[in-house]
Amino acid sequence: MSDAPSRPVGTPGFSGAPFPDLSVAAQRALTDYADLLREVMPMKAAHRRRLADNIQELSSFLIEDRAEFLGRDYLHAPAALGAYLWYFLPWNLVRLSRLLGGLDLDLPDGATIVDLGSGPLTVVQALALARPDLLTRELHFHCLDATPKPMREGRKLYHGLVNSLENTLAQGQSRWKIHLVHAPWHVGLKDLPRADLLTAANFLNELPWHRRDPLGEQVADFFRTVAAHQRHGGRCLFVEPGNRLGGKLVSLVRESSVAEGWRVLGPCTHHQACPMLEYRETSWCHFTLSTRGCPPWLAELSREAELTKRDVSLSYAYLAGPDVADPAPAPKAPDAGAGSARVISAEFSVPTRDHGQMIGRYGCAAQGKLLILSAPGAPGTRSGDLVPVRLAEPSWRDPKSHAVVAELSSTAGKTKSGTDKPKPKQGTMPKATVSDKPKQASSKESTGMDRKRDSRPRPAGPSAKVSKKRPKSKPD
């Protein structure tokens, strides 16, 4: 099913629905963002002509030469920084704004937010776009990054963005306080006040994890370090690209948090072990969103750089620390029959031996990874939806994907915000094995952006100038 609107696009604020559409004000601000970029980083005509080449070169560098840039300042060159601000930053604002608009982030006056790996203040800008109702609260943002220039440019962009939102929404002047901390995260964190909310977007995949110790142990050490700097009941939000590495890192952080007594606020519906980390599991937890709301100038620049997007994807974990007054619940044994599941894929056709074509989608629940089936006439689901399910009786697994087979319950389609979709037709649970393996939803996201594969020579790194002409290549 297509990523249909989940709420009226003219109502900014917390929606309660997963991945709500960008508000009218946010879409207008992103449309004007190109003018803001020209003001903050003016380019000569020759630089503008090379922008698409620089974007593609930086994309190739981030994907193919990851080992070279980990732990490095890869945005030191003006060409690389310009490419990042014009292409990667706006796309990250689109996807992060849709995530943040669906999370319960009721930050009180005086709250402290610590953002790791801030770059050009991507999280701060995305939160302003998604939740302009919070601008009138006095919030203190401590933005940490080892590279100072992107943060300084990001602060200029943030102020211009806020001015645009204030003029559109008449919200009053922003009371947010932005503090830039130029230091590695583990050094700068020691001198900061304890956080009510800690955020890290596109950060974990850039840390230099080594091979001496298991990755799970390294992630657990990392999480214990950041959790020690949280206030009681504080929250953490980790967001990564929706690729295999990003999904695995987010799942490992989620596992580490549960082991430390934290609660999982989203996207999980349970505190059981993550099924995406099971032995031989080939899929990963991520959500795919449409590019609806993307400003026309960004779509055109993406085409010019031969990096056109059909969708964007992300993986995330929203976590709450243990509180003396509200301890984390002990994991309970999963209900063997009914419950709710988080949809983690697009819909696909599933041929069955006894009932012909059915509609399937993968989901995650306390019982593990699910293959959720419904009759062809039933209302559809979107990636990220929370849906009621009923397990097959007797319980059985799809022999090819090894997912527990479940049926979309008759109440499916009611979103968290209370908007009822038409009730689906009752489907009959097939008792035979699925004859063909369902097509798994794929993601081309890597560090938050799509990329075409071609036979161009791999660059040694982003340079100040791009002298070679990129060859034309066919779309993937």
pLDDT number for residue 377:
82
| Phi, psi at 385, each rounded to 5° | -65, 150
Label the pairing between strands 311-320 and 368-374: unpaired
pLDDT number for residue 78:
86
pLDDT number for residue 284:
92
pLDDT number for residue 68:
62
Q: Counting Cβ atoms within 10 Å, is residue 9 exposed (0-12), middle (13-18) or buried (19+)? A: middle
pLDDT number for residue 352:
80
pLDDT number for residue 52:
94
Separation between Cα atoms, residue 356 and residue 31, nearest integer Å: 46
DSSP code for 88: I
Burial profile 445-472: b = 16 or more Cβ within 10 angstroms, e = fewer: bbbbbbbbeeebeebeebeeebeeeeee
pLDDT number for residue 69:
59
Cis peptide before 399 (omega within 30 of 0): no
pLDDT number for residue 5:
40
pLDDT number for residue 279:
82
Place of tokens 């790791």: 116
- DSSP for 297-326, please give it: HHHHHHHHTT---SEEEEEEEEEE--BTTB
Cα→Cα distances 60→159, 187, 360, 461, Å: 31, 30, 34, 9
pLDDT number for residue 72:
64
Do the Cβ atoms of 98 and 92 come closer than 8 Å?
no
| Phi, psi at 218, each rounded to 5° | -65, -40
pLDDT number for residue 410:
65
Q: Counting Cβ atoms within 10 Å, is residue 139 exposed (0-12), middle (13-18) or buried (19+)? A: buried
Which residue stretches of the chain have pLDDT < 70? 1-16, 65-72, 168-172, 324-338, 410-476
Write out the two tokens for 186: 């583990």
Do the Cβ atoms of 95 and 201 come closer than 8 Å?
no
pLDDT number for residue 449:
35
Cis peptide before 42 (omega within 30 of 0): no
DSSP code for 234: E
User: Which residue from 91, 116, 17, 72 is spatially nearest to 444, judged by alpha carbons?
Assistant: 91
C-alpha angle with apex 18: 296 to 166, nearest 5 degrees? 55
User: Which residue from 6, 28, 27 is spatially nearest to 17, judged by alpha carbons?
Assistant: 6
Separation between Cα atoms, residue 467 and residue 29, nearest integer Å: 34
Do the Cβ atoms of 124 and 39 come closer than 8 Å?
no
User: Which residue from 17, 13, 89, 19 is spatially nearest to 58, judged by alpha carbons?
Assistant: 89
Q: Counting Cβ atoms within 10 Å, is residue 428 exposed (0-12), middle (13-18) or buried (19+)? A: exposed
pLDDT number for residue 396:
86
